[in-house]
Structure 1
Amino acid sequence: MPPMPSDSQSDASRQTLPARLRSIGSIVGLHVKKHAGVGMVCAVAYFDPGNWGVDLQAGSQFGFRLLFVVLLAGLFAAFLQVLATRLGCVTGLGLASHCRVLLYDRPKHPLLYRWLGLYPLYILSEIAIISTDLAELLGSAIALCLLFPRLEIWQGVLITAFDVIVLLALRDPLRSTPVKMFEILVGVLVLAVLTCMVMVIAKVNVDWPRAFEGFLPSKYIFNGDGLYTSVGILGATVMPHSLFLGSALATQDRLAIEVPPMVVKLEPPSDAFDKETTSKTLTRLNRLIEFFVSLFRTPPPSQSSTQVKRHSDRENNSLAFIQAHLNHGIVDIVGSLLGFAVLINSLILMLAGVVFFYNNDGPKIDSASLFDAYDLIHDRVGASAATLFALALLASGQSSSIIATVAGQAVSEGFLNWRVSPVVRRLLTRLIAVVPSLAVAVAVGRPGIDALLIASQVILAIVLPFITLPLIYLTSSKTYMRVRRPQAAVSAAVEEDSYDNMVDYSSGMAATILGCAIWLIMLTANAYVIVTMIIEVRR
């Protein structure tokens, strides 16, 4: 029989409890102060206006029965986003930069790899970002038309064409240190979406036991229309541009106090003007002109990019950096995606189920659009609930639009080493998205806008397997995910790398198999959607 603990041992254990609580509190405080933010930024992509359209369609057709698919899509997204975070934190490079280093200068047939691998992948990534920005543009324009009924849809498109340029001009989120004001801005918009949706749900009569049953697998998922809608939820939830952005932001040192010199400061360059002379001689007008000129300057290289052409020519991040950042980053990503993205998508689907599917007043609408949802909420729930719905849609479109632009920067710099200011990048991406939106809005009106919104999600579904494949491959490879131990750094110049001197951060067999399974599910689902759409068009 083991000996009983003495009173002194019990007192010692009781005395350590407050110390443990203080330690846990300090860890939580450090996480909130330094590490929280990237998860919120990445979560925005998973409840953009494109998701709204799919969730409204699912709720209007099947009620609460496809909530399980929303949860499953959120888990898939969280898994892939964690892989992106691991890749950026361990290697110090974003996913786009890894693709360039992997495919640009192969030992054999380099031109073949570039023109058949790297450049097509870059073009697909840009198409995904433009399609994403198209959905954000349309969602924001629709929200403005709902809030201001006299506004024509084409006028809403023009207004939202230049919506967040000023916001992005304040600082560049992709430089070496995180821009907390950028993360706070995105967090405020996310909280605005969640608050508005909670207030709308509070105004409708939700059958909560039936709603929670929807998070369990249902036979309706495998019906013809149910399978098609479920595939649409999966395709609209996992966003390619968020994987690029998440891996790039994970490379930043979030514990650094001083701003590194590579960060661009919005002030006249020191080689042109002396600080003291500048403060005395420049007028306010000149300073204002200098500020706007600085917005269009080419930024310095970001932390997530590199000039090397092969992985063997560079080192991954230090073990100390990874230990200080990786777990915090994973917790931030998973908590934000499950706590915000999945919750908001679930609330949208519940709202559509209550208003369209379970409400026996008036005719049923099998496939509800954003305009239909607003009109029925206004008629059946009230004007205040409809206004909150429109405000939530506007906040979703604006926050997602900001994220798409920053992701575009990461893609262009990572794939091609092409650096451009956030304002210029925003103008280029937005102008490409404005042309089809404005043409459809003027020629067809609201029905054409709905069709264009759905088309943007189909394009994203087609691109997604091509983007996730290199992510799964890179994170499962010990070659790219190994980190040198501190004691091995001294002898690195004279000793060859061995697994004894390295710490392996690759995914492992189980995670790799799971990633491949998710990839196959997405590939099969997207192929099913495309074939189904072709059959419907031929009919």
Structure 2
Amino acid sequence: MSSPPTTKEMSDPEAKTPDVRIEQTKDASGVLSNIRKTFRAIVFHTVKHTGVGIVCAVAYFDPGNWGVDLQAGSQFGYKLLFIVLLSGLFAMFLQVLASRLGCVTGLDLASHCRLLLHDRPKHKLLYRWLLLYPLYILSEAAIISTDLAELLGSGIALCLLFPKLPLWGGVLLTASDVFLLLALRDPVGGKPVRLFELLIGALVLIVLICMAVIISKVGVNWGDAFDGFVPSKTLFQSGGLYTSIGIIGATVMPHSLFLGSALATQDRVKAKPDKMSRPLLASPTLSMESDASEVTQPPRSRVQIVREEIRKTFSSVFKIETAEKYAHEPKSHAERENNPLNFVRAHIYHGMVDIIISLLGFAVIINSLILILASAVFYYGASAGNGPASLFDAHDLLRDVVGKAAATLFALALLAAGQSASIIATMAGQTVSEGFLRWRVSPVMRRLITRCLGLIPSMTVAIAVGRSGVDTLLVASQVALSIVLPFIVFPLLYLTSSKSIMQVKVPSPIPNSGEQPNEPSNPDTEAQGEQTVDYSNGIVFSCIGYFIWIIMLAANVYAIVSLGLGTENA
């Protein structure tokens, strides 16, 4: 028993008994312990789940965006910053849908299109030749157009850094990053490749830091700049709507939806197996046989070992996978099951947060900084009234007005943006070919072919036309992306709005974890004794998605008609 309080303790309200002080100490230590646990959990989830959002965000500030943002800022000042923000929100919404699709179903968007259209119960050939294969061709055209802009943008950056380098030489040098891709493991092959994600993250930070430094050296009226995020009548003035459509078309990238859905299928929580605990061979018999063969084999020289390794490497590069690998795969959505519920819960919301923060924190900010730079220099600055600004114009004016250091930073940021976006486009090409066609060649060969498809037209334009045709080709590539985009977004909206595709089975019996599904179950399956959790789009999300799709479709029709009539003011 504790001793009764003394007269001093009774008269002094701040005096504490030993038991009270012990309890307060325990409470304080408990609070600190909870804070440490919360901090560790935040760090753990940040390290595990960060990466996909940054990789996807790269597509939204590629050199095509740079060209459109420079044009918008030099012609309309800060007024089109609202369109930059709106297009970023559109991209964020669609990218979240792509992430949900991959996380819930375990398949990327291209594979889902194949399941929908390749083996229909009736009229198989019609579905394949009128829907599946044209959709694949459009997807490949989007990737080639994207890679075209990335190669040209990176080539321009090298020419700005090294003025004596011809444009075609810069384009050829930028294509050498494919050798870096050959050295990496397969980033979309099912396991996260942290080296790949760290490389992309470093390039993104280089772009952001360079643009921030440049903006700090340019006189910006920040009050007018923030007013640009509010809608204004400038959007409907001559040329404003057309340029706004160009911003939307250049921002929302089809290939990023394919790649984002593929990366969302990866298990980012499962611990790596302990190498020391794994058996070297699966069978003791095999172990004995291998030991005996090693004893009987004569010792090999170092040259023989190196030659054998080179032979194995080249055979793996040009390896063609057998058709049996895909012989037993499901032919429709009804024949396959989605990811288990614990996998979906462990990834879906973290993936959504990663994408939202990355797109708003990197893509929207970088695009806004590019437009603000063009506005401050070409619209409100000494070069006002000289018309739309190109990448070469921006570099030359920064060099003359701000200084050579700012111009160099501009070129470095453009190079980092082009190289990172080019790597992403090449990876997306691998996802598209595998998903649509089950193209059975090694990932290395897929990357080489994808890069060559974008390199050939880039080199042709760089040699035949030179700098004068680069801007035209960049605009043409963004128009091609804008035309393809509605055809890619519609299957994404259809798939993520389907309850039969986006439902996950509840394990029976339900684990006693004290956590119940927050999502409504499907009553049809409950009547059959099987519970499911529905992750499909609700009515509100479906309406928002189709509204965005209608806006994109109308914008494309307007852009095509304007180009055909020659009434655009680009």
Is TM-score (shorter-chain normalized) higher than 0.5?
A: yes
Offset of 1:22 from its aligned partner? 3.2
The Cα shift of 1:535 comes to 1.0
Residue correspondence of structure 1 range 237-248 to structure 2 within 5 A: 237-248=251-262
For residues 183 and 279 of structure 1, the distance between their equivalents in structure 2, rounded to whole angstroms, comes to: 41
After the TM superposition, which of the residue ranges 58-67 and 458-467 deviates more from structure 2?
Answer: 58-67
Report SS of the residue matched to 2:206: helix
Native 8 Å contact 1:139 1:394 kept in 2: yes
Q: CA deviation at 1:19?
A: 4.7
> What does residue 83 of structure 2 align with?
69
**One of 333, 338, 342 as aligned partner of 1:316:** 338
After superposing the two structures, state which structure 1 stretch, 529-538 or 234-243, moved more. Answer: 529-538
Aligned residues between the structures: 518
For residues 195-245 of structure 1, give each alpha carbon's deviation from its aligned partner in whole angstroms, at most 9, with x where no partner exists: 111111111111111111111111111213111111110010000000000
Matched, 1:97 2:111: yes
| 1:432 equivalent among 435, 453, 464 | 453
Match of 1:142 in 2: 156
Q: Is 1:130 matched with 2:144?
A: yes
- Structure 1: distance between partners of 2:495 and 2:110: 12
2:201 to 187, 200, 206: 187
Aligned mates of 1:278, 1:414 — CA distance in 2: 46
Select 2:362's aligned residue among 333, 340, 345: 340
| 1:514 to 2:528 alignment | no
Counterpart contact for 1:169–1:422, Cα < 8 Å? no
What is the Cα deviation at residue 399 of structure 1?
0.4
Say if 1:174 and 1:410, in contact at 8 Å, map to a contact too: yes
For 1:437 and 1:419, locate their aligned partners in 2 and report how far apart those are by CA, in whole Å.
27
Tell me if 1:498 matches 2:494.
Answer: no
Secondary structure of 1:163's counterpart equals helix
Give the counterpart letter for 2:89 in structure 1.
Answer: L
Whether 1:524 and 2:554 are equivalent positions in the alignment is yes
Alignment of 1:25-424 (within 5 A): 25-258=39-272, 282-284=304-306, 286-297=308-319, 307-359=329-381, 361-362=382-383, 364-424=385-445
CA shift, 1:110, in A, is: 1.6
**Any unmatched runs of 5+ in structure 1?**
1-6, 262-269
Distance across 1 between alignment mates of 2:152 and 2:340:
43
SS, match of residue 66 in structure 1: helix
- Aligned residue in 1 for 2:518: none
CA deviation string 1:120-156 (max 9, x = no partner): 1111001001111101110011111111100111221
Q: Is the 8 A contact 1:69 1:233 kept in 2?
A: yes
Q: 1:366 to 1:199 in 2, by over 3 A?
A: same
- In 2, the alpha carbon distance for the partners of 1:516 and 1:82 equals 15
- What is the rounded CA distance, in whole Å, between the counterparts of 1:242 and 1:305 in structure 2? 29
Describe the SS at the equivalent of 2:504: strand
Partner of 1:450: 471
> Is 2:316–2:442's contact at 8 Å kept on the other side of the alignment?
no
CA distance in 2, matches of 1:223, 1:14: 63
Deviations 1:422-457 (A, max 9, x none): 332232222222222222222221121111111010
Q: Which amino acid aligns with 2:550?
A: L
Contact 1:143–1:390 at 8 Å: present in 2 too? yes
Kindly provide the CA deviation profile for residues 394-425 of structure 1, in whole angstroms up to 9, marking residues without a partner as x. Answer: 01111011101111111111111114333322
Shift of 1:27: 2.7
- Contact 2:102–2:261 (8 Å) recurs in 1: yes
Per-residue deviation at 1:86?
0.3
Distance across 2 between alignment mates of 1:333 and 1:362? 38
Any idea what SS the aligned residue of 1:175 has?
Answer: coil
Query: Per the alignment, in what secondary structure is the counterpart of residue 497 of structure 1?
Result: helix
* Secondary structure of the corresponding residue to residue 472 of structure 1: helix
For the structure 1 residues 337 and 363, does the alpha-carbon distance in structure 2 shift closer, same or farther, using more than 3 Å as the test?
closer
Q: Structure 1 CA distance, aligned partners of 2:328 and 2:406?
A: 49
Larger Rg: 1 or 2?
Answer: 2
Any conservation in 2 of the 1:377–1:386 contact (CA below 8 Å)?
A: yes
SS of the residue aligned with 1:503? Answer: strand
> Kindly tell me: are residues 53 and 299 of structure 1, through their superposed partners in 2, closer, same or farther at Cα, counting changes over 3 Å?
farther
Q: Kindly tell me: are residues 512 and 15 of structure 1, through their superposed partners in 2, closer, same or farther at Cα, counting changes over 3 Å? A: farther
Residue 4 (structure 1) aligns with: none
* TM-score for the superposition, normalised by structure 2: 0.85
Q: 1: CA distance between counterparts of 2:312 and 2:243?
A: 51
| Equivalent residue letter for 1:497 | T
Q: Is the 8 A contact 1:488 1:501 kept in 2?
A: no
Runs of 5+ consecutive residues of structure 2 not aligned to the other structure = 1-19, 276-285, 512-522
Deviation at 1:43, TM superposition (A): 0.4
Distance change >3 Å, CA 362–CA 80, structure 1 → 2: closer
CA shift for structure 1 position 489: 9.0
- What do the CA deviations read for 1:281-323 (whole angstroms, capped 9, x no partner)? 553454355445434445799x999921111111100000001
Q: Percent identity?
A: 60
Q: Which amino acid aligns with 1:136?
A: E
Deviations 1:258-279 (A, max 9, x none): 3699xxxxxxxx99x9997899
RMSD: 3.1
1:314-358 deviation line (CA, Å, top 9, x unaligned)? 110000000111111001111101100001101110111111001
Letter in 2 for 1:345: N
Residue deviations 1:17-43 (CA, integer Å, cap 9, x gap)? 445433432331122221110111000
**CA deviation profile, 1:352-372 (whole Å, cap 9, x unmatched):** 11110010x245332111111
Residue identity in the other structure for 1:413: E
